[in-house]
């Protein structure tokens, strides 16, 4: 059966609210929770960007059943991979083995802030591969000295390693990424219902003699009792979404996202995102991701102020409908 998750979207909620929603989402019946890791929101109207690792520590403390993911962390510019390894080990200890480290090549929006520039995608892919190698060696308990093309590590060792290993999920959005990263990852992460990517992942894993792992997706929704309000909320908060990763990864500031989405209409957003009270519409979009081969699907309820009504009034019914659709 598919696992269904809840998204702790740091761009639209305060740290305290995220921890509170995480506990609530576990009580409602979600199987896992994913936490975004941004330095800046995509749009100024979203208004938040707490540190994901502090949030994950808080979430680990108030939950005891749900799996947890960073979704996703870029371990190459804003963070050094040795620091990411330490953060992951710490959260895994706090979560008693429920944590998966989600990694990706990142977005200019979050990474430029440390003043190191923003490399082109081929270099970012190289950097990610080198970073994962370092992270794995540290999580395996090795003393790591590494002087590579992109990173230097001098006699690093993690102390107090968790009893359970830290699985690594990696965002792969195209065939080049799958070809390079399939052997580095335990699980696939992608936000589009692209069956070709999931199939390529599984083929590459078989060719390398590795198990297929999990395929983890994310589906934005704008549930609400008033469809017009839900569409307006989705347009205000998520109109950048249709730009696609190849464009969005290059945009530098919330103003750039605002300008890039200036011509996107509410109707355009409603064509891409299930908006309003119709639970069947949510089931339909999730079904497309299941058909593409995803094993784990996280719902992303759009709007900071829309989390409480969703969790109180809709989440249980949505989960019941999604599970019934598989039976």
Active site residue ranges: 38, 107
Q: Which two tokens stand for residue 111?
A: 């990474």
Residue with tokens 């390079």: 180
Asked whether the beta carbons of 55 and 15 are under 8 A apart, the reply is yes
Q: Which two tokens stand for residue 46?
A: 């979203």
Q: Rounded distance, CA 150 to CA 57, Å?
A: 29
Determine how many CB atoms are found less than 10 A away from the CB of residue 54: 13
Residue with tokens 């989440």: 315
Q: Rounded distance, CA 70 to CA 170, Å?
A: 10
Cα separations (Å) of 133 from 183, 203, 242? 11, 22, 33
Angle at 322 between CA 317 and CA 326, to 5 degrees: 140
The 3-state DSSP class for residue 232 equals: helix
């Amino acid at each position: 059966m598919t696992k269904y998750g809840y998204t702790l979207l740091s761009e639209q909620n305060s740290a305290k609210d995220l921890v509170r929603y995480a506990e609530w989402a576990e009580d409602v019946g979600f199987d896992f929770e994913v936490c975004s890791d941004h330095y800046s929101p995509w749009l100024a109207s979203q208004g938040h960007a707490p540190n994901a690792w502090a949030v994950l520590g808080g979430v680990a403390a108030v939950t005891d059943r749900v799996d947890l993911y960073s979704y996703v962390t870029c371990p190459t510019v804003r963070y050094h991979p040795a620091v990411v390894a330490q953060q992951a080990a710490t959260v895994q200890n706090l979560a008693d083995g429920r944590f998966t480290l989600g990694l990706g090549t990142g977005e200019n929006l979050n990474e430029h802030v440390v003043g190191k520039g923003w490399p082109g995608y081929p270099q970012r892919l190289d950097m990610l591969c080198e970073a994962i190698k370092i992270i794995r060696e540290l999580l395996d308990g090795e003393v790591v000295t590494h002087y590579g093309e992109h990173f230097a590590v001098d006699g690093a060792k993690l102390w107090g390693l968790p009893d359970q290993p830290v699985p690594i999920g990696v965002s792969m959005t195209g065939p080049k990424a799958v070809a390079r990263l399939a052997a580095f990852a335990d699980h696939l992460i992608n936000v589009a219902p692209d069956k070709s990517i999931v199939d390529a992942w599984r083929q590459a894993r078989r060719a390398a003699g590795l198990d297929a792992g999990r395929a983890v997706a994310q589906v934005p929704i704008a549930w609400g009792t008033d469809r017009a309000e839900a569409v307006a909320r989705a347009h205000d908060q998520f109109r950048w979404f249709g730009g696609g990763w190849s464009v969005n990864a290059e945009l530098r500031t919330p103003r750039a996202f605002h300008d890039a989405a200036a011509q996107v209409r509410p109707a355009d957003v409603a064509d891409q995102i299930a908006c309003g009270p119709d639970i069947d519409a949510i089931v339909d979009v999730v079904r497309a991701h299941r058909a593409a081969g995803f094993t784990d699907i996280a719902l992303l309820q759009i709007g900071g102020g829309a989390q409480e009504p969703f969790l109180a009034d809709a989440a249980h019914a949505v989960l019941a409908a999604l599970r019934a659709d598989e039976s």
